[in-house]
Amino acid sequence: MFKTISDPADCEVRSVIRFLNAKKIKPAEIHRQFVEIYGENDGMVRKWVRQFNDGRTNDHDEARSGRASVVNDGLVAKVNEKIRENRRFTIRMLFDEFSQISKTVLHEIVTNRLNYRKLRSRWVPKMLTDVHKTK
């Protein structure tokens, strides 16, 4: 029995498919070997074998254009400035100030980029010192 590999990288899986395809192993046999080693996969073996047979040589994802992010350092600084003016803010109050940004993105900025969390009714930095805790 072989050791199973959990959560492989996509490019790793594609590299193995490309290697086995170059050895002229049929897609059904490649799929059987994948299930044996990687566990159940998403059934993309035939698609990738077809692409490699059509001449594809790169096993990494191609660059895709995505939606441009509205979050930049200037915006984060402005949000942080508003928070420092009034620590008892709500995301809705921030939304009134920055209506061009969704509430979800504002919450992400506050929690992930600025590392604030709610403590009672105030937003505070996550890393509190002993002095902050006693106040």
Question: 35 is in which domain, residue-wise?
Answer: 10-54
What would the pLDDT profile of 11-53 be if each residue is shown by its tens digit?
A: 888 888 899 999 999 988 988 888 888 777 667 888 888 988 9
What would the pLDDT profile of 62-99 be if each residue is shown by its tens digit?
A: 777 777 777 888 989 999 999 888 888 888 888 998 88
Residues 50 and 79 in one domain: no
Determine the Cα–Cα distance for residues 127 and 116; give it in Å rounded to an integer.
9
Least confident of 3-7, 8-12, 87-91: 3-7
Residues 17 and 46 in one domain: yes
Number of structural domains in the chain: 2
Cα separation values, 48 from 12, 37, 38, Å: 13, 18, 16
Residue 109 lies in a domain: yes
Residue 1 lies in a domain: no
Residue 124 lies in a domain: no
pLDDT band (50, 70, 90) for residue 1: low
